[in-house]
Amino acid sequence: MKSHVTITEEILKNRVNKDILEIAIRHHETLDGTGYPKQLTGEFITKTQRITTITVIISALSEERSYKQPFSNEKILSILKEMGKNNKICSDILNTVEQNYDVIIQTAKSVNREAVEIYDKIMHDYKLACKLI
């Protein structure tokens, strides 16, 4: 599971700028230095990286995975609050997320729905072009 960060770095290295690369490979770092892959502490984690970390957590907890069902919004917020209390994620950003949680979730669902529709159309067109349907 943890190797996806290293694989991501190999894929993106020399293909995107340094800031984007660091956002992609630092989304499992925590402010207290117990994250991975490099166990960075908060002083080395930018605001954008901190925001990305929280969004990745929300995404993982709110979606169905092969090993779990989606968590309720209440459970997600409870987990995030505990992580904030334990200096894993940024409390300031978490406060903003809490205050705007419903809007954030609705916007994410809308954007995700649009992305899935675009993907489905591309796949349909690809299959037509390949005469697979």
Rounded to whole angstroms, how far apart are CA atoms 36 and 30? 8
Region 97-109: mean pLDDT is 93
Spell out the domain ranges in the chain.
3-99, 101-133
Q: Residue 124 has what pLDDT?
A: 93
**Measured between alpha carbons, how far is 124 from 111 in angstroms, rounded to an integer?**
20
Q: Nearest 5 degrees, angle CA 70-CA 76-CA 82?
A: 145
Position 133 pLDDT exceeds 80: no
What band does 37 get if pLDDT is binned at 50, 70 and 90? very high
Handedness of CA 102, 105, 106, 107 (dihedral sign): positive
What is the structure's pLDDT at 67? 92
Q: Which CATH superfamily is domain 3-99 in?
A: Hypothetical protein af1432 (1.10.3210.10)
Strand partners, 68: 65
pLDDT for the residue 35? 96
Tell me whether residue 72 is exposed, middle or buried, using C-beta atoms within 10 angstroms of its C-beta: 0 to 12, 13 to 18, 19 or more: exposed
